[in-house]
Amino acid sequence: MRTRTTTVSTCLAAALAASLVLAGCTTSEGSPQRGGTSAAAPPPAATATPVPGAGSGYEGPRPQDQNLLAWTGDPNDAGHVTAQSAAGVAGRVTLVRIVLREQTPWANIWLGLAGIDPSAQLSHCYLGVYGADGTLLASTADISPQLMTDAIAKPLPLAKPFTAAPGTYFVALLLNGNWATNALTFKSTGAGISVNAGLTPPNLRYSTVLTGQTSLPATLNLAEQSTSTINTGWASQWYAIS
């Protein structure tokens, strides 16, 4: 009996092993396997097609491309000029809004001087920076001499450089003296009467405040921003920060 039982068990084990071998030689679809693998490889994962300009790709000109920290627009687009008579803007504080989205050391205001009047008599001309609350944060010395020479983009240093936190600021320009209309001119963004579309004081992008000023006031009431002079073609000057 012992010999007979052993023989039967051996036969059953051999039959079971044979059935397992046959099962391993076919795929789940009944096709023979090649290369001895036990299952078909999964298909490769789908790969998304990159979208031009998306994510961290090219996003157009940036101030840092020209060793600047911020600007009111690409100077390549500042092809127009703004010109106004002395009677129109002398003594007015002209404001151009600039929004900083990161902390920025501010030492110079770049101005695009498009044309000069060699016969002009200028004095008490300044650039400055106001915060969103209307407080004067920094200003230049009298820039009258720089407005008489070299019609180029030029940096005009602040008397006391400062570090600007992210937020809204206004670059202020004050001109005084006499000059020929269409001679003393500034590079601008080319924007027209629509420059303040969707905006109201105290957040106008281009505006003027006050008259009869010979220096930049310590504070401005930005709720008094006016567009009457802006709508005649003045302002939209191009500025940059370094």
Q: What is the pLDDT of residue 179?
A: 97
Q: What is the mean pLDDT of residues 211-231?
A: 96
CB 208 within 8 A of CB 230: yes
Name which of 142, 106, 120, 60 is nearest 239 in CA terms: 106
Residue 232 pLDDT class (50, 70, 90 cuts): confident
Share of the chain above pLDDT 70, in %: 76
Kindly give, in sequence order, each residue whose CB lies less than 8 Å from that of residue 203, ignoring residues fewer than 6 positions away.
97, 168, 222
β-pairing, 206-209 vs 93-100, is antiparallel
For 180, residues 6+ apart whose C-beta sits below 8 A from its C-beta are 117, 119, 120
pLDDT tens digits for 184-206? 999 998 777 888 999 999 999 99
| Mean pLDDT, the chain, whole residue set | 83
Q: Which two tokens stand for residue 145?
A: 């001499």
Confidence of residue 235 (pLDDT cuts 50, 70, 90): confident
pLDDT of the residue at 40: 53
Check pLDDT > 60 for residue 2: no
Which range, of 57-61, 99-103, 196-200, 237-241, averages the lowest pLDDT? 57-61
- Res. 9 pLDDT band, cuts 50 70 90: very low
Is pLDDT of 135 > 50? yes
pLDDT on residue 57? 64
Report the percent of the chain where pLDDT is more than 90: 64
Q: Which tops the pLDDT comparison, 227 or 38?
A: 227
pTM for the model: 0.76
pLDDT at 138: 98
What residues does 100 pair with on adjacent strands?
167
Q: Which of 64, 26, 216, 56 is nearest to 128 (CA)?
A: 216
For residue 122, give every residue at least 6 positions away whose Cβ sits within 8 Å of its Cβ, in sequence order, or none.
144, 147, 148, 175, 176, 177, 178, 179
pLDDT tens-place string over residues 18-70: 444 444 444 444 444 444 444 555 555 544 454 444 455 667 889 999 999 99
Higher pLDDT, 219 or 27: 219
Q: Is 115's pLDDT higher than 90? A: yes
